[in-house]
Amino acid sequence: MTDSTKPRFIQGLVILAWGFQADLFWVALPMALSLEARYYINRRWALEKLDFYRVADLTSIGLLGLLLFLFLNARTYHFITTLLEWLPILFFPLTIVYAYSTTERMSLDVMFHSLRKQKEPVQQSWDMDYFLFGLALLAAGISTAHSTAFFPLAAIAILWSLYPLRSKRYQRSFWVLAITIAILTGSFTHQFIRESHLAFKAKTEQWIARWLARRTDPLKTRTAFGKVGQLKLSDSILFRIQSAGGIPNLIHEASYDHVDDGDGMNWSIWDPGFETVNHEDDFRWRFAPRSEHEGLARVFLEFDREYSLVPVPAALSEISDLPALDVKMNAYGAIQGTGLVPSPYYDIRYGSGQSIYSKPTKIDTLVPENYQLLLSRIIDKDQYPGPEAVAFVRSFLGDYKYSLFQDEPRPSVSPLEHFLFVKKAGHCEYFANATTLLLRYMGIPARYVVGYSTTEYNEGIDMYIIRQRHAHAWTIAWINGSWQVVDTTPSTWFAAEHANEPLLQPLVDLLANYTFVFQLWWNDQKIEDYEVELYVIGALLALILLWRITTSEQVILTDERSIQKTREFPGSDSPFFKLEHYLTEIGLKRGRGELLRDWLVRIQKTELLPLLAIHNRWRFDPFGVNQDDKALLDQTSQQWLADQEPK
Amino acid sequence: MIREFIFPGFARLSRISRNASRRSSERGQLVTTSAVISAAVGIDTSLTMVYQLFALLLCIIIVSRLSLRLQKPKVSIRRRLPKYATAGEPFEYFINVANEGTQPERDLRLIDNPKVLPPDFEQFDRSREPGEETRNAYDRWLGFHRFIWLQRLNTGVTIKQGMVPEISLKAAVDTPMEATPLRRGIVNFQSITLLCPDPFGLNYSVSNFPDFEQLMILPRRYAIPKSFELPGGRHFQPGGVNSTWSIGESDEFVSLRDYRDGDSMRKIHWASTAKRDKPVVKEFQDEFFVRQAIILDTAVDDMEVLEETISVAASLLLQSENTDGLMDLIYVADVAKIVTAGRGHAQPTHQLEVLATIGRNEGTPEKLLDVVAAHQRLLSGAMLVLPGWTDEHKRLVRMLGKLPLAIFIITREEENLTEVPAGANVLPLGKIAERLAGA
């Protein structure tokens, strides 16, 4: 229905502006046209509450679908802004249905399911036109594409919609003055808001930078003792690996050659330099010559930072499909992606025989003096030269027990001493530390390595699952001209940690794995693949719509003035009107207010006077005319009209 | 427990929202809501441009509020209420607005303020809103709708906003107000609020004019067919068969006198009227009029049944207005009372006023039985309007013995009634109008 205070065109204009801003112009155009066309179409559909409920349910389903879609595609779309940008499309069906129905306002039970059952009639209602108008205006402001045009657009839209509502109490000039003041101050205010925000942002960024500078540990080049251990407390899944031919047991992240001489057993690297690895093509980096025996694996790990270490096997030969601008590597095999963007996976090739670690240096054999004293209590420096040293360390630590990581208070002696001589049990960090230092003490170059163990295989999704608690530390030793893994942590560690997992963990895993598989499938889908299905659904919906439009009850709106004109009066069905119409057509129009009798005399059609007599009785006699006279008038006038036809 | 804790907040919340909603038009509220939403969405000025919309809406609201201070209407206001209104029946009354300023007044609105009576927690806890079970779980749990319903019911009347017609200089106009009484009893009017819009039509300035007044709301009444005859009238006893005849109207003629308003047509002495060219009536010895009674029991806990019982009694009273005898209304409030209407006594409207303010009989119907027993011998017939059909009611009917009776039983469950006398009108809630129409 049409409300006289509802301004025309403005809703269409705002919708077009929104379409233009949101790159949805071709969606917005038909929306705007169909909404504005109602002022020129007088057909309305007598829809019932149930019909509105259906459309509202469709809107709700659409909204849920949109939320799900945005949730699944959070990488591609910004959640809130995209949602707001698309909302006008979602609420358009409800608005258009109200626009072309005989109901003016949407009562809230249509939109809110919980109100539908209540006996008390719902009092509150919304005017969907204003709702869509506001939504489109808001959505038009989401994109910053044409930043100078938005304020004038908003000002015009609001000015236009407020004008018909103005109070008759005030003169028009007063209204103009008031709205001008409002728009001008609005213009200053928004500039003020923008500048204040920028200034505030700059200030806070400074504060945060200063605060971080005091606290950030350069983790990229150092590790603190206990870092791996803390990770061991969490069951959450970090990444998954898919490989047809099996993968190495250990996935390396970084290795360290330098140990502090303090008590903390902090490892760091001597040479912090990262070097850029050459691209083979856009997303492929080669680390070793190609070989036929390379294994291939896909690592499903999403990076949430721009710079991140990339977990790889030590025998890496290639990384591909890594969503990075550059890949850098240091002498210790730590691989860093820069300019990373979120992407579901990257591929690795490995096993060509080469290792990513640089050859040992003198640093790799250094043992701080305080540790030398400690280790001398275990063995003489020169007792086992060469490879036998490894066998000794294995057998020596073989008697030690694995114990879960506990954030226990530091003992009075150094952690290593406590581990070696008091507790004789610990988690992987203790074993790796002790092994590295013992080997070095016996003259074998060794490094401390952190990474992950790939011991959990999930058959359901055919992948290795790496959790935070799979974080692991081990040693590499330079034996017979190559780096070899010496992992002295008792093999029971995995089982021990597995036993410690929460009761509901399998359920959580199941959910996480299926969400993950669904996301993989979803990411592979392209809208083009479903073209046929979409066309079929579209055609079906169009048919249903067509059917609903044609079969539902319709009302023709009429102008008040035309009602006056077409109102039924007694004798309006008299055939004499046809004669009058014919005479008017041939140019003998009756004058304004001229009596029919005078007119017939004037145009010399006096033969019609007897018919006029019957007609007048038909029109004005309270008793009407009898059927015979009616038939006579009908026949004679038809005869007369037939006679007038040119032969 | 939680409800008891948050209950005091309900009255405050409803007062705040009532005051806030009258300060803005619907579109004003839309603008304010949009400003709040755009502030939330536009908080990051680098991400979107919605903050520009917020700035614009904010400035419009500020200009609108400021402009309200510029043009304050100078008027005086007086309310004109009717004497009575009927519960559930919308009625119109007028508020007179006189222009005392120096320019014509346009586009003003009026809100009439009856005294708002929020329920206390006991009433809130005891009552159930009709159809409350169909509300959603949250609304049921919170009970705010029940609070609002009770508050409206206690207040007693809802009044629509009135549009003041244009008032030219030094003129006064009547603004029609449409009100719907929600219950019987007395409604207190407290003040009148005058709303004056800003140029944009978004917000209103509010000025209050204290104006205390009371309005009596009569009970809701049902239509009773003309064919319904009151028991014990002389139409029933033409031949002196019945013992009641001795109390009936005597034929003993006393004198002739001029017709007075309210005299029955039947008593006009046509011959004298023709002679004197003005109506003359015969006067009889008046202690022998037909005397009927409506015996109303109000000892019932179910408030809905009580209201309907009173409504039925009121409907019967109205019917008796057309008769020429005396009508007693017998009921028990804190003490037993008899209100008599008819010639030489109070007007029937007085009885309606009594019914409008009558409350529940906190005791048992014993008192009622006593007073009826004492009064019984004066009556030629009685109508019993009873909430339910208890043993006391049965005793009452037995006690009245051979007196012609019309019995009306208002009940919630029709099926549970036993030993209902033949001819009694059983009126279950929801079907009262229907059953009475067939009485």
Considering only residues A1 and B119, tell me which one the structure prediction assigns the higher pLDDT.
B119
pLDDT surpassing 60 at residue A185? yes
All domains in chain B, ordered by first residue: 2-218 (2.60.40.10), 251-284 (no CATH), 291-437 (3.40.50.410)
Compute the average pLDDT of residues B208-215: 92
Considering only residues A151 and B231, tell me which one the structure prediction assigns the higher pLDDT.
A151
Give the pLDDT confidence of B10-23 residue by residue, as tens digits: 999 999 998 888 99
* Distance (Å) from the alpha carbon of B48 to chain A's nearest alpha carbon: 5
Query: What are the residues whose beta carbons fall under 8 Å from the beta carbon of A110, sequence distance 6 or more?
Result: A49, A52, A53, A56, A94
What does the block give as tokens for B265?
């047509």
pLDDT, residue B246, reads 35
Give the pLDDT confidence of B123-177 residue by residue, as tens digits: 888 888 888 888 888 888 888 889 999 999 899 999 999 999 988 888 889 999 9
**Which chain A residues are within 8 Å of B37, Cβ to Cβ?**
138
Residue contact B60–A174, C-beta within 8 A: no
pLDDT surpassing 50 at residue A624? yes
Confidence of residue A230 (pLDDT cuts 50, 70, 90): low
pLDDT, residue B232, reads 63
pLDDT, residue B256, reads 80
**Which chain B residues are within 8 Å of A186, Cβ to Cβ?**
52, 55-60
**Which chain A residues are within 8 Å of B51, Cβ to Cβ?**
190, 193-194, 197
pLDDT, residue B393, reads 86
Task: Supply the mean pLDDT for chain A.
Answer: 83
How many alpha carbons lie under 13 Å from residue B333 in its C-beta half-sphere? 11
Strands A482-486 and A401-402: unpaired
How many alpha carbons lie under 13 Å from residue A441 in its C-beta half-sphere? 23
Residue contact B107–A167, C-beta within 8 A: yes
Range with lowest mean pLDDT among A3-17, B311-325, B378-392: B311-325
Residue contact B41–A186, C-beta within 8 A: no
**Which chain B residues are within 8 Å of A201, Cβ to Cβ?**
46
Which segment, A72-86, B206-220, B361-375, B410-424, is predicted with the most confidence on average?
B206-220
Closest chain B residue to the Cα of A197, Cα to Cα: B45
pLDDT, residue A643, reads 86
Give the pLDDT confidence of A565-623 residue by residue, as tens digits: 555 677 788 888 888 888 888 878 887 778 888 888 888 888 888 888 888 888 888 87
Residues 103-162 of A with CB under 8 A from B: 114-115, 117-120, 130, 134, 137-138, 141-144, 147, 150-151, 154-155, 158, 162
Which segment, A187-201, A468-482, A501-515, B318-332, is predicted with the most confidence on average?
A187-201
Give the pLDDT confidence of B335-372 residue by residue, as tens digits: 778 888 776 677 778 888 888 888 887 777 778 888 88
Range with lowest mean pLDDT among A41-55, B67-81, B283-297: B283-297
Give the rounded percent of residues in chain A with a pLDDT score beyond 70: 92
Q: Which amino acid is at A238?
A: L
Instruction: Give me the numbers of helices (H) and strands (E) for chain B, helices first please.
Output: 12, 17
Confidence of residue A196 (pLDDT cuts 50, 70, 90): very high
User: Torsions phi, psi of A392, nearest 5?
Assistant: -65, -45
**Which chain B residues are within 8 Å of A115, Cβ to Cβ?**
136
pLDDT, residue B27, reads 86
Domain coordinates in residue numbering, chain A: 10-147, 166-216, 222-520, 570-644
Range with lowest mean pLDDT among A5-19, B24-38, B318-332: B318-332
Residue contact A197–B46, C-beta within 8 A: yes
Residue contact B201–A167, C-beta within 8 A: yes
pLDDT surpassing 70 at residue A225? no
**What ipTM was predicted for this assembly?**
0.74
* C-beta pairs of A20-25 under 8 Å, 24+ apart in sequence: A20/A140, A20/A146, A21/A139, A21/A140, A21/A141, A21/A142, A21/A143, A21/A145, A21/A146, A21/A150, A22/A85, A22/A86, A22/A139, A22/A140, A22/A142, A22/A143, A23/A143, A24/A85, A24/A89
Considering only residues A219 and A17, tell me which one the structure prediction assigns the higher pLDDT.
A17
Give the pLDDT confidence of A441-455 residue by residue, as tens digits: 888 899 988 888 888
Please name the member of A115, A174, A185 whose beta carbon is closest to the beta carbon of B59. A185
Compute the average pLDDT of residues A458-476: 87
Distance CA B384, CA B406 (A): 6
Instruction: Compute the residue count for chain B.
Output: 439
pLDDT surpassing 50 at residue A133? yes
* Distance (Å) from the alpha carbon of B138 to chain A's nearest alpha carbon: 9
Give the rounded percent of residues in chain B with a pLDDT score beyond 90: 25
Residue contact B52–A185, C-beta within 8 A: no
Does A25 reach chain B within 8 Å, measured CB to CB?
no
pLDDT, residue B236, reads 37
Closest chain B residue to the Cα of A186, Cα to Cα: B56
Partners of B216 in the β-ladder: B84, B186
Task: Supply the mean pLDDT for chain B.
Answer: 83
Could you tell me the pTM of the whole model?
0.63
pLDDT surpassing 50 at residue A218? no
- Do residues B278 and B270 make contact, with C-beta atoms less than 8 angstroms apart? no
